[in-house]
Structure 1
Amino acid sequence: MPHTPARPIRRKFHPMRVIGPGLLAVVAAAPVMAEEKVIHAHGISTFGDLKYPVDFAHFDYVNPDAPKGGTMSFRGTGASSTFNSLNPFILKGEPAQGLGLLYDSLMSGSPDEPDASYGLVASSLEYPEDRSWVIFNMRPEATFSDGEPITAADVVFTYEVLLDKGAPSYKVALKDIEKVEALDPHRVKFTFRPGVATRDLPALAGGLSILPKHYYDKVDFTASTLVPPVGSGQFVVKDVKPGRSITYCRNPDYWGASLPVNIGGANFDCYTYEYYADTTAAFEAFKSGGYLLQQEFSSLIWATAYDFPALKKGWVKREELADNNPSGTQGFWFNLRREKFADPRVRQALGMMFNFEWSNQTLFFDLYKRTDSFFENSPLQAEGLPEGEELAVLEQFRDRLSPEIFTEPAYEPPVYEATDPATGKLRQLDRKILRQASALMDEAGWKVGEGGLRRNDKGQVFTLEFIEDQPSFDRVLNPYIANLRALGIDARLTHIDAAQMQQRQEDFEYDIISGRFVMSQTPSVELRQFFTTESADAKGSANLSGVADPVLDDLVELVIASKTREELTVRAKALDRVLRFKQIWVPNWYSGKYLVAYWDVFGRPPEQPPYSRGDGLWWMDEAKLGVMKAQGALR
């Protein structure tokens, strides 16, 4: 779960399944030539060698002797505060959190390598040096949850049904696959389209959730349903209370428990996600043991409310765990599909009115730092003036880019410094910044008129509607709205229910919307979902801003095609620089930490893996649990 201060940004997107830290892709193949060198391997890495050898027993960061048993429980914080579907692959319905537990993929990621994946349903893979195709050799013993064998035909079906009947974003994610073939019952080949960047495609293909053809021959794949589906993974749906909770429990007949990629993980017999109407109700439930693990998204609660009896007695612990993943891409996203946002000066002026410094001091207890990059807290972030290899990348597009990109530092939001002389604290509204933003609006043709409101030359008032389904974010938005009104914007906040929020996001029916994406250490094809022309009008896509620019399309493809990490870094910096110049969002804030609290009933490995929160490797400590129950702390 991504770390988002103030509250989780609950938006549903439908990119491909993820293994490890990156979004996975699919492969296109060329005919096998006699002289073609084919690599046979137990895993694959985007850059360089694999950490783990062919005969590795388990990942380093796990406890291979971790006991199995008990139930891990969380608050359900998926796309909304409720759910009404167990089908995460279509646009219809609001899927429950945790559905990934039902599905295995051909390959599995490593918690300590950002670019690697190892065999899961596939025991090995074969591919040429140019990665133009990949063959996965599947384990004959692998079965679905109903006992039916997992075969190459199921992998072919998965690709075809997602492309034909899945959420529209799958067409973007799968576009580089030319065909998928079952070579025999347990060998499947992905062939990639000629001329595409193939660096990540074998891993992407290996990360697809495998769906059962025999099941969907009888069940409508396009239906939003609460009937537990047949899956390919370690867990099955045990109990569903629509909109309230969902429990997944271990399939006792799961075939792959002893695989190296599974040893030491998924140590609980069951996982439960409890849903609550709002943050307050959820926190009250956590305090009384209603669920056991809480990632805290509210800085207010973290700073002021962790003084309840269970914590004082030592029954509940809280920690700040390192988050080594890029922390950027949280913000308020302008909907560029609407004409009033066409001028970047307008977008810049509106963004300038968000006073992060005051919010951090007054609302967030100085827990956060300002985001300014789409790859915040990573080496991929653009800084200063473009130079060296990054400049060389940008030079390819000089005639299509604004000159300022080459002559001005990468854009950073203004810093609010005005203070109240009486208190010494920051002012919510900085008049100097207000004047600068006002000048930009004037230049863009939005002048202050009757009632102090800005109008264009047609007399239309500039309106800006924020939509929210959670009142907990009001304390952040209302001061921002007050500043916008001082600029002459008819800004307002509208509360809607979770279903309306989801539908309006999918249909792009908003002026501005909150959203966060967790970017990869190795960004790749998922960037097409966020920043390209083809995703701008794909219903339900993750391109919240609707940005559509051929230069961005080309830069995204350059990032995807990078052959070394050094090349990827400079190309990602160029992309970041151009995106920031376009002013498609109002960047928010980040922490670089997971704020977690938990009832002290768990065992855990001595070290947290570098690219994971780590609780996926915890286990139930029955002795601690027994003490808790004896003391009346938990039932």
Structure 2
Amino acid sequence: MRSTLFAFLALLALALPAAAQDTTVSHGISAFGELKYPPDFAHFDYVNPSAPRGGTMSFRGTLASQTFDSLNKFILAGEAAQGLELIYDQLMVRAWDEPDALYGLLAETIEYPADRSWVIFKLRADARFSDGMPVTADDVAWTIETLKTKANPLYRLAIEDVEGAEVLSPREVKVTFRAGAQTRDLISTVAELEVLPKHYYQANDFERSTMVPPVGSGPYVVSSADPGRRITYCRNPQYWGASLPVNRGTNNFDCYRYEYFSDSTAAFEALKAGVYLFHEENFSALWATGYDFPSLTRGWVKRETLPDGRSSGAQGFWFNLRNPKFQDRRVREALGMMFNFEWSNETLFYGLYERTDSFWENSHLQAAGALEGEELAFLEAWRDRLPETVFSEPAFVPPVSQPNKTDRAMVRRANALLEEAGWVVGSDGVRRNEAGEVLSVEFLNDSPAFERIILPFIENLKAVGIDATLNMVDPAEYEERQERFDYDIVSGRYVLPVSPSVELNVLFGSNSANDPGSANLSGIADPVIDEIIQQVLAAEDRETLDVRVRALDRVLRDRMIWIPNWFKGEHWVAYWDVFDHPATKPPYTRGVDFWWWNEEKFRALKSAGALR
């Protein structure tokens, strides 16, 4: 009878609704439970809730590619246009004055247990796609399954621990995570997915590149698209979510336009002529010497430096460790020695940059100095599987060179390392191994602006017997070769969040190392790093998270999977004086999403003949 009673109680527990179990029902979520904004908040603190609406914000198209030929951002095929996120809503959106908090957009509330092993999203009743169809739980479930099985690896890897999505009602969907997965951040990962319309893709192939404007539920729709030249998004007048607290003070422009140019010089000339209105400068030479054009001196164009509260970005030359010649750490270290940042900064960058050494550069997550304290205690578990240098040497910092193009001391040190690694200089001055293979290195790039940086680096590599070359290709070939890992060294930059999460698996995890199109540029596949990442994801409080991320940073830097570049820790921007913006910029984003149009300023510049 006792066993029968226990069986009955167990069945009863399963039959109870989720709300009767020990769960949290909330309007938001963060990694460790802290939320700044209460359920009845009116708007985020960093916006102007009374900002007028109107005008067009225009940008230069992405630096990452000089063109686009697709309006499908979810697959590898094609080169997707910039700005497509404007046409899609997410279940929840970030608050940019908190490290990792999200608040409901499509989702009115979320419900989840203490272990975060599942979550129920309850959708807002009035959520609609741009064609007027309601956003339903079935759309959410279909989106998750489709992105998990058919999308770009960046999506597939991010949600690989999603076990399934179950439709509970037209407005409720339950997402369950894989048993044993680190679930702290998985709810947030799913909540930030763009929700797609199932009915639309029943008639349109999700896996095809297309220039047909897709259906979304966001505040904007594609107004016009001229492949490789420009794309314009304009407000959806029937947008369902305009009055939500998370949207107040945002989406202030009637339209957004992205202009594409063949090179940076053409883009800068277009800015000066008012072809587009907002520009973030990425080239120190231009910032130092190019901002003396008439429209700026007359006050028509403003030039500002905006603080950046994020880590400053992991930018560098990334080794492709899938190539056998880069397996030896000594080879990678020797190559890194021959990049003379000090000369580059003084000669090419006008002294405006600092040297990057950390994957969380310019943040509290950056490892520094000798390994000790809590960080040491954490890494002890892997002492017999990590190089002794992790424990015996300070966190790796690139050596400082003399500001001569070629530092002879660095040449001597690099020569010694290469000799130790078995690469010997022959009578022709080129290094070979025992098998007679030449130590060759090809830099793959599609940006002419990088030539002035890479070519002096190549000269230094040749000075130590390395057959180094630069292969400049067009953006389409660059994208295709990067997707199939057909390179020796590529340039790349990732801005890692101050609350690291599942993106660590995408960038540094073994599962992503050989998945075509993944963001694991180096191809690092190290079981110890995988285990450390899992411990980062399992951290139960922010202090523990910080210790574990610094330890991960230290281990990654010791592996020398890249040659660190440079950073500035701020945004250099120039814009035509037709905008206004809040007095305070949120720390974790550039903040331009919360600017607004000033019609009076625009008319004044138009009357002066500055703008058409």
Query: Which TM-score bucket, shorter chain as reference?
Result: over 0.9
Are 2:592 and 1:608 aligned? no
Q: Which residue number in structure 2 is paired with residue 301 of structure 1?
A: 286
**Alignment correspondent of 2:529:** 552
Aligned to 2:434: 457
- Please give the per-residue CA displacement for 1:276-326, whole angstroms capped at 9, x wherever unaligned: 000000000000001000000010110001000100110001111001101
Instruction: Name the SS for the 1:452 alignment partner.
Output: coil
Q: Are 1:134 and 2:119 counterparts? A: yes
| Residue aligning to 2:100 | 115
**Which fold has the larger relative contact order, with Cα–Cα distance below 8 Å and residues 6 or more apart in sequence?**
1
Structure 1 residue 195: Cα displacement: 1.7
Amino acid at match of 2:305: E
Distance 2:453 2:16 in 1: 57
1:532-611 alignment to 2 at 5 Å? Answer: 532-611=509-588
In structure 2, give the amino acid aligned to 1:234: P
Shift in alpha-carbon separation, 1:30–1:404, aligned structure 2, 3 A: farther
Amino acid at match of 2:575: Y
How big is each residue's C-alpha offset from its partner over 1:423-445, in whole Å with a ceiling of 9 and x where there is no partner? xxx21111111100110000000
CA 1:30–1:358: 2 relative to 1, 3 Å: farther
Identify the residue that residue 16 of structure 1 maps to in structure 2: none
Q: Deviations over 1:255-293 (max 9, x none)?
A: 110000000011000000000000000000000001000
Cα distance between partner residues in 2 of 1:118 and 1:214: 27
Percentage of identical aligned residues: 59
1:49 and 1:410 mapped to 2: Cα distance?
A: 31
Amino acid across the alignment from 1:50: L
Q: 1:453 to 1:31 in 2, by over 3 A?
A: farther
Q: Paired residue for 1:315, among 270, 295, 300? A: 300
Secondary structure of 2:246's partner?
coil
CA contact (8 A) 1:71 1:272 kept: yes
Q: Which residue does the alignment assign to 2:500?
A: 523
Aligned length: 599
CA distance in 2, matches of 1:556, 1:409: 21
How far off its partner does 1:393 sit? 1.3
| 2:129 paired with 1:144 | yes
Please give the per-residue CA displacement for 1:386-431, whole angstroms capped at 9, x wherever unaligned.
Answer: 11111111111111111121111111110013xxxxxxxx211111
SS at match of 2:134: coil
Deviation per CA, 1:466-524, whole angstroms, max 9, x where unpaired?
Answer: 12212111111111111111111111111111110000000100000000001001001
Deviates more, 1:163-172 or 1:568-577: 163-172
What TM-score do the two structures reach when normalised by structure 1? 0.93
Which amino acid in 2 is paired with 1:572?
A: V
**Residue 266 of structure 2 is aligned with which of 263, 281, 292?**
281
Partner residue of 2:491? 514
Per-residue displacement from partner, 1:539-582 (whole Å, max 9, x unpaired)?
00000000110001101111111111111111111111111111
Asked if 1:501 is matched to 2:486, the reply is no
| Residue number in structure 2 paired with 1:262 | 247
Alignment-mate amino acid for residue 537 of structure 1? N
CA shift at 1:49, angstroms? 2.2
Judge conservation of contact 2:509–2:524 (CA < 8 Å) in 1. yes
For residue 179 of structure 1, give the secondary structure of its aligned residue in structure 2: strand
Q: Which amino acid aligns with 1:559?
A: V
Aligned counterparts of 1:119 and 1:33: Cα–Cα separation in 2: 20
Matched, 1:396 2:419: no
| Residue of structure 2 in register with 1:474 after alignment | 451
In 2, the alpha carbon distance for the partners of 1:125 and 1:306 equals 49
Shift of 1:131: 1.1
Question: Unaligned stretches of 5+ in structure 2?
Answer: 1-13
CA shift at 1:31, angstroms?
Answer: 9.2
> Helix, strand or coil: the match of 1:573?
helix
Kindly indicate whether the alpha-carbon contact (under 8 Å) linking 1:79 and 1:94 is maintained by their aligned counterparts in 2: no
Match of 2:606 in 1: 629
Is 2:169 aligned against 1:184? yes
Give distance in 2, aligned partners of 1:623 and 1:103.
31
- The two structures have a TM-score, normalised by structure 2, of 0.96
Residue 48 of structure 1, CA deviation: 3.8
Residues in 2 aligned to 1:372 and 1:589: alpha-carbon distance in whole angstroms: 8
Give the 5 Å matches for 1:67-86: 67-77=52-62, 79-86=64-71
Q: Answer whether contact 1:58 1:64 (CA < 8 A) is retained.
A: yes
The separation in 1 between residues aligned to 2:470 and 2:550, in whole angstroms, is: 34
Find the counterpart in structure 2 of residue 6 from structure 1. none
- The counterpart of 1:93, out of the listed 78, 90, 99, is 78
Structure 1 residue 228, shift from structure 2 partner? 0.3
The answer as to whether partners of 2:29 and 2:103 remain within 8 angstroms in 1 is yes
2:193 and 2:108 map into 1 onto residues whose CA distance is: 15
Residue equivalent to 1:22: none
Q: 1:348, CA displacement in angstroms?
A: 0.4
CA distance in 2, matches of 1:535, 1:367: 35
**Alpha-carbon distance in structure 2 between the residues aligned to 1:370 and 1:297:** 16
- Answer whether contact 1:79 1:502 (CA < 8 A) is retained: no
Aligned to 2:22: 37
Decide whether the 8 Å contact of 1:30 with 1:191 is kept in 2: no
Counterpart contact for 2:145–2:164, Cα < 8 Å? no
Give a deviation string over 1:349-403, Cα, whole Å, max 9, x none: 0011000111111111111110001111111111111111111111111111111
Residue from 472, 485, 488 that aligns with 2:462 = 485
Structure 1 residues 180 and 435, CA, compared in 2 at 3 Å: closer, same or farther? same
Q: Spell out, residue by residue over 1:52-83, the C-alpha distance to the aligned partner (whole angstroms, 9 max, x if none).
A: 11110000010000000110000001531000
Q: How far 1:450 moved relative to its partner?
A: 2.1
8 Å contact from structure 1 (residues 42, 125) kept in 2: yes
The residue that corresponds to 1:5 in the other structure is none
Equivalent-residue separation in structure 2 for 1:55 and 1:604 (angstroms) = 25
* 1:134-173 aligned within 5 A: 134-173=119-158
Would the aligned equivalents of 2:582 and 2:594 in 1 still touch at CA under 8 Å? Answer: yes
Query: What are the superposed Cα offsets for residues 160-188 of structure 1, whole Å, 9 maximum, x if unpaired?
Result: 11122112343321111111111000011
What SS class does the counterpart of residue 587 from structure 2 fall into?
coil
Unaligned runs of 5+ residues in structure 1 are 1-28, 418-425
Moved more, 201-210 or 61-70: 201-210
Whole-angstrom distance in 1 between the partners of 2:475 and 2:196:
28
Task: Please report how far the alpha carbon of residue 232 of structure 1 lies from its aligned counterpart in structure 2 after TM superposition.
Answer: 1.3
Matched, 1:239 2:224: yes
Aligned to 1:333: 318
Identify if the C-alpha distance between structure 1 residues 266 and 486 changes in structure 2 by more than 3 Å, giving closer, same or farther.
same
Look up the SS of the partner of 1:221 in the other structure: coil
The answer (yes or no) to whether the contact 1:169–1:538 under 8 Å persists in 2 is no
How far off its partner does 1:614 sit? 1.0
1:35 deviates by 7.1
Higher deviation after alignment, 462-471 or 592-601: 462-471
1:85-121 superposed Cα distances (whole Å, 9 cap, x missing partner)? 0001001010000000010011111121111000101
Displacement of 1:327: 1.0
Contact 1:524–1:560 (CA under 8 A) maintained in structure 2: yes
Tell me which amino acid in the other structure corresponds to 1:221.
F
Query: SS at 1:450's partner residue?
Result: coil
The separation in 2 between residues aligned to 1:174 and 1:324, in whole angstroms, is 27
Moved more, 165-174 or 140-149: 165-174
SS in 2 for 1:399: helix
What amino acid maps onto 1:247 in structure 2? T
Asked if 1:49 corresponds to 2:34, the answer is yes
What SS does the aligned partner of 1:397 have?
helix
- 1:448 matched to which residue of 2? 425
Opposite residue 454 of structure 1, the aligned amino acid is: R
**One-letter amino acid matched to 1:298:** F
Higher helix share: 2
- Residue 200 of structure 1: aligned partner: 185
**1:432 equivalenced with 2:417 (yes/no):** no
Aligned to 1:9: none
